[in-house]
């Protein structure tokens, strides 16, 4: 695939700062969070895949935040359940 440019990404994100933050969070999700990419991986690094997703309009700040919430929910549920089952 052709290179991803900042201009391609800025069509879907308001400014460069938001682009950097969004790409960072999404690439971290792809690299360590076990999230599935919305575009073909094509032997790219997670950062490039995140930028390609942003340029394609498949990922935005709301999507990344929702993915983080879904990831966190089971951890809290397990922690609270274990604490509730402890003897007093």
Q: Strands, DSSP E only, in the chain? A: none
pLDDT along the chain (88 residues), means of 10: 85 95 95 90 93 96 82 57 70
Q: How far apart are CA 62 and CA 84, in angstroms?
A: 33
The pair of three-digit structure tokens given for residue 18, joined into one six-digit string: 């938001």
Asked if 53 contacts 47 with a C-beta cutoff of 8 angstroms, the reply is no
3-state class (DSSP) for residue 25: helix
6-85 CATH, one of 3.40.50.720, 3.40.50.300, 3.90.940.10, 3.30.565.10: 3.90.940.10
Output the pLDDT for position 75: 54
3-state class (DSSP) for residue 27: helix
Output the pLDDT for position 49: 96
Delimit the domains of the chain by residue range.
Answer: 6-85
Output the pLDDT for position 66: 86
Asked if 48 contacts 26 with a C-beta cutoff of 8 angstroms, the reply is no
């Amino acid at each position: 695939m052709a290179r991803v440019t900042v201009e391609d990404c800025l069509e879907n994100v308001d400014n460069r700062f938001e682009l950097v933050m969004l790409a960072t969070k999404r690439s971290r999700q792809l690299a360590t969070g076990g999230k599935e990419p919305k575009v073909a991986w094509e032997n790219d690094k997670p950062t490039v895949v995140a930028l390609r997703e942003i340029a394609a309009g498949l990922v935005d700040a709301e999507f990344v935040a929702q993915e983080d919430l879904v990831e966190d929910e089971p951890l809290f549920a397990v922690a609270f359940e274990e604490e509730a089952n402890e003897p007093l």
